[in-house]
């Protein structure tokens, strides 16, 4: 449904040119919640702004439903924009308009009938849980409520694509969770495609079905969220998905520090003890956690394996046979 081909964007800055996007290509299918994660300056916001044509790309194509939107102008461009919703980091609500009028804005400018606007906005107010706040002004709302208005406004005209640019970055953790579950719920119920721009790993884990990792204006990894998160290839992606390696207390005998990732069913089975007994190796758990990524349980353990090289190899194999991703982080033997 959205296809970005060889998109490039350069900004003129004092020290010459800044390449915000370098030949970015990505395909997003209908119904996906596609996350774009990267550090600031990685180009993710530029990508979002190019897709919504708030910014003109230098070269490349952005196909939305088969139409190259980078070439559009005037009325045709406005038509395409009506098929997209945009949720901003700082909400960008009309401060002198009520919650109702803010949400109604896209419908009003599209010249919809008052009776239709009334019922459609009320529907959205219900979805985002702000029915009582209909006549309130944004200044009286909390940050989370303001963003709910922003989401309702983005959805009211039944867009095909909704772009969320750092939509939860200005919110506290609790509110972030609320807003994310709202986006997830809407995605599941309506089948709307979302582009979620973020620098927070938790956002990707909580709602995304797919993810692209961006660095220096390029997409360095992309795909199904479970695959990319559990098998990151590039150092940047690893840093994002796995917390930086802490300094672990290594046993006096010296062992191998390993990371084991248990996906889905593997996370439920208890075979560590079994493996430990079978190969007669000492396995100690240095740290571990289990979480849900894109709806799949993923466990992650940092293990210390004490034993000879050949035993280690056998142990690692046993893990792999059980469907566990394992890699040696450091060797102190």
Partner 1 sequence: MLDWDNLAYILSGGRHQTFEGYTNHIIPTLIQGTIDTMYMVGFASLFAIIFGMLIGLLLYITQPNGIHPVAFVNRFVGIIVNIGRSIPFVVMIILVFPLSQHIVGTSIGRTAAIVPLTIAAIPFMSRVVESALNELSHGIIEAATAAGATTRQIIFRVILPESAPALVGGFTLLIINLITFSAMAGMVGGGGLGHLANSYGLQRHRTDILMYVVVILVILVQIIQGIGQMISRKLDKR
Residue 153 lies near partner 1 (rule: CB under 8 A):
yes
Residue 100 lies near partner 1 (rule: CB under 8 A):
no
Residue 94 lies near partner 1 (rule: CB under 8 A):
yes
- Of the candidate spans 38-46, 60-68, 100-108, 322-330, the one that interacts with partner 1 by CB under 8 A turns out to be 100-108
Closest CB 52 distance from partner 1, rounded Å: 5
Residue 93 lies near partner 1 (rule: CB under 8 A):
yes
The answer to whether 210 and 222 have CB atoms below 8 angstroms apart is: yes
In the bound state with partner 1, the residue whose beta carbon lies nearer, of 171 and 303, is 171
The answer to whether 248 and 286 have CB atoms below 8 angstroms apart is: yes
Residue 108 lies near partner 1 (rule: CB under 8 A):
yes
Residue 90 lies near partner 1 (rule: CB under 8 A):
yes
In the bound state with partner 1, the residue whose beta carbon lies nearer, of 99 and 263, is 99
Burial of 119 (0-12, 13-18, 19+ CB in 10 A): exposed
Closest CB 171 distance from partner 1, rounded Å: 16
The structure tokens 């989370």 sit at: 144
Going from the C-alpha of 199 to that of each of 36, 219, 254, the distances in angstroms are: 8, 14, 37
Residue 79 lies near partner 1 (rule: CB under 8 A):
yes
Which token pair is 153? 């406004």
In the bound state with partner 1, the residue whose beta carbon lies nearer, of 57 and 258, is 57
- Of the candidate spans 16-24, 74-82, 256-264, 298-306, the one that interacts with partner 1 by CB under 8 A turns out to be 74-82
Residue 30 lies near partner 1 (rule: CB under 8 A):
no
With CB under 8 A as the rule, give the number of residues binding partner 1: 27
Residues 123-142 within binding reach of partner 1 (CB under 8 A): 137-139
Residue 47 lies near partner 1 (rule: CB under 8 A):
no
Q: CA 164, CA 104: separation in Å to the nearest integer?
A: 19
What one-character DSSP code corresponds to residue 19? E
Closest CB 109 distance from partner 1, rounded Å: 5
The three-class DSSP label of residue 269 is: coil
Q: What are residue 222's DSSP bridge partners?
A: 212
Q: For residue 115, count other CB atoms closer than 10 A to its CB.
A: 8
Q: CA 79, CA 41: separation in Å to the nearest integer?
A: 30
Going from the C-alpha of 282 to that of each of 37, 191, 286, 326, the distances in angstroms are: 38, 49, 13, 16
- Interface residues toward partner 1, by CB under 8 A: 52, 54, 78-82, 84, 86, 88, 90, 92-97, 105-106, 108-110, 137-139, 153, 157
């Amino acid at each position: 449904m959205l296809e970005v081909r060889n998109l490039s964007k350069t900004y003129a800055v004092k020290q010459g040119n800044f390449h915000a996007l370098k030949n970015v290509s990505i395909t997003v299918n209908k119904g996906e919640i596609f996350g774009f994660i990267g550090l600031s300056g990685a180009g993710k916001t530029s990508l979002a702004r190019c897709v919504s044509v708030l910014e003109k790309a230098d070269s490349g194509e952005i196909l939305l439903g088969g139409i190259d939107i980078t070439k559009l102008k005037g009325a045709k461009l406005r038509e395409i924009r009506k098929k997209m919703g945009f949720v901003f980091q700082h909400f960008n609500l009309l401060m002198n308009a009520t919650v109702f009028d803010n949400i109604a804005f896209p419908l009003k400018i599209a010249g919809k009938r008052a009776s239709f606007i009334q019922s459609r906005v009320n529907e959205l107010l219900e979805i985002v849980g702000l029915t009582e706040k209909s006549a309130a002004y944004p200044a009286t709302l909390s940050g989370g409520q303001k963003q709910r208005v922003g989401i309702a406004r983005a959805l009211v005209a039944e867009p095909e694509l909704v772009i969320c640019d750092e939509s939860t970055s200005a919110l506290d953790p609790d509110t972030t969770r609320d807003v994310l579950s709202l986006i997830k719920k809407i995605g599941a119920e309506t089948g709307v495609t979302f582009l979620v721009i973020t620098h927070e790993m938790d956002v990707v884990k909580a709602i995304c079905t797919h993810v692209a990792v961006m660095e220096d204006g390029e997409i360095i990894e992309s795909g199904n969220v479970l695959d990319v998160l559990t098998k990151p290839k590039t150092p940047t992606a690893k840093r994002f998905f796995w917390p930086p390696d802490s300094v672990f207390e290594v046993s006096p005998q010296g062992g191998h520090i390993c990371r084991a990732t248990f996906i889905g069913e593997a996370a439920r089975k208890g075979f560590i003890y079994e493996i430990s007994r079978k190969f007669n190796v000492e396995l100690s758990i240095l740290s571990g956690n289990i979480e849900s990524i894109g709806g799949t349980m993923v466990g992650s353990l940092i293990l210390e394996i004490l034993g000879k090289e050949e035993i280690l190899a056998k142990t690692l194999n046993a893990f792999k046979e059980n469907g566990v991703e394992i890699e040696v982080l450091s060797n102190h033997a």
